[in-house]
Structure 1
């Protein structure tokens, strides 16, 4: 009786706090795989084309979308190619739309869309539902590919920031959400690297000196601003 072939890993996830070295390790893994002729894709935090996350994407009720399309009929053709319909909701990749339109989308319309940002502007239950559908879609697509995907931070850090800091949803919901994602990706035989610094405060103080003041201001605002 022969042994079954080993299960092929199709997903590598790199996690850790800001400044822990996630980006460097993710890039190193990608380079090593390429060196060994193993095809791989690398998606960093904030990638607008991330296949399992929503970066700068809004979820808006269709009736609201129809109202905005009527009000801004002269410019909505810039946005339409970046809309995906899902039942009673419309998913809008607004940053990609603005990028494609070369900033021709009026700021007033852009602000209207931002009210429905998936990480900030929808109820926490809706956020969890949308993210789970996103992960399911990724797993379905990955299932038929002979390629390894590397993700930086979208498994723990992003939902942690959203559920624990932004929405104050509590540890139980955060844990439940992450475990549900883990169940979805199990068939991809994922490998998780978690970078745990020995001194968290020192790591944050160091990264503050390496990044812009705008980055620091945003991080503080994002994690402390009270949601209405």
Structure 2
């Protein structure tokens, strides 16, 4: 594997950052190397400081993020473990500064300062670019449904950048992210760390994953093939009777799918015989057998920060 203790993944919202960060972490571990994936939304994230940005403004935000990176490097440099972070170099830091209409030269100065700080970890960057930003945003909004589109549009509408540049609604959001991507692409072109830029990764995820493994000099380890008949035993509707929460597990050509857990549809990745990771997040699902060996319930695990963590749902019927 390439000499690094820090793998960064970034790009536009919905470009596949979390999915690929998780993929990298699993591949690193399958190659016998310790890895720690810091999911962008996990509680007590070592870098992100949304509360500082919202309450104290850009100047304090920059100071806090800079200090967070310094602390992170000091803690991780002596560890024999690879850290994987998505959204930390740009989306959850630079994008917030851009939204606040911080002058470009200040954002650039901040970004290069961070690159200097993390240099001790021999960082590498995987950067996703969308050649048609409008199409990319429409695509992800359709996938994540209207609630997510309304949320993201409102976030941009209420930003200082949108107010100063008279940007509104979906069209304004597109313009914002076009300009934001121009900024981050410029920053990437001037970084000195090894970097891999992939255009439109969603056009061919298999090829994208292969390019990433080659870039990281990481032999690709495939999961053992599992029969459709075996996976079918997990499908069905599962319900928590106390809250009436219901989750559906389906099956298609690509494997098991969980419906309406975090997103409308998320793939399940095998962990053990009856346990699965939810793709693109830190939720795990453990299916449990009854005395006769039939799957009769599921338990939600993974990171304790999820509101459904620890919840047990009983299988009520097959799909």
TM-score, with structure 2 as normaliser: 0.48
Q: String of CA shifts for 1:169-207, please: whole Å, max 9, x gaps.
A: 121111111111111100100010001123221111100
Aligned residues: 161
Aligned counterpart for 2:66 among listed residues 132, 136, 155: 132
SS in 2 for 1:155: coil
**Contact 1:53/1:135 (8 A) holds in 2:** no
Question: Cα RMSD (Å) of the superposition?
Answer: 2.0
Determine if contact 1:8/1:188 at 8 Å carries over to the other structure: no
4+ long deviations beyond 3 Å? none
CA drift at 1:162: 1.1
1:214 to 141, 144, 147: 147
Which of 30, 35, 46 in structure 2 is aligned with 1:51? 46
Q: Tell me, which stretches of 5 or more residues in structure 2 are unaligned?
A: 164-319
Q: Tell me how far apart the structure 2 counterparts of residues 197 and 124 of structure 1 sit (CA, whole Å).
A: 27
Task: Please give the secondary structure, in 2, of the residue aligned with 1:121.
Answer: helix
Change (3 A) 1:23 1:226: closer
- Secondary structure of 1:23's counterpart equals helix
Q: For residues 135 and 7 of structure 1, do their structure 2 counterparts lie closer, same or farther at Cα, with a shift above 3 Å needed? A: same
CA deviation vs aligned residue, 1:41-83 (integer Å, no higher than 9, x gap): 112221113222225xxxxxxxxxxxxxxxxxxxxxxxxxxxx
Larger Rg: 2
CA distance in 2, matches of 1:158, 1:191: 18
CA contact (8 A) 1:30 1:40 kept: yes
Q: Deviations 1:66-125 (Å, cap 9, x if unpaired)? A: xxxxxxxxxxxxxxxxxxxxxxxxxxxxxxxxxxxxxxxxxxxxxxxxxxx212111211
Is 1:27 aligned with 2:27? no
- Contact 1:12-1:192 at 8 Å conserved across structures: yes
The correspondence for 1:37, drawn from 15, 20, 32, is 32
- The Cα of 1:7 is off from its aligned counterpart by 8.5
Deviates more, 1:218-227 or 1:180-189: 218-227
8 A Cα contact 1:7 1:189, kept in partner: no
Whether contact under 8 Å (1:14, 1:152) holds in the other structure is: yes
Q: Mapping of 1:65-104 within 5 angstroms? A: none
The alpha-carbon deviation at position 30 of structure 1 amounts to: 1.0
SS at match of 1:120: helix
In 1, the alpha carbon distance for the partners of 2:66 and 2:140 equals 31
**Partner SS state of residue 84, structure 2:** strand
Give the TM-score normalised by structure 1. Answer: 0.66
Return the alpha-carbon distance in structure 2 between the equivalents of residues 181 and 202 of structure 1. Answer: 31
Separation of aligned partners in 2, 1:7 and 1:23:
21
1:204 aligns with 137
Aligned twin of 2:103:
170
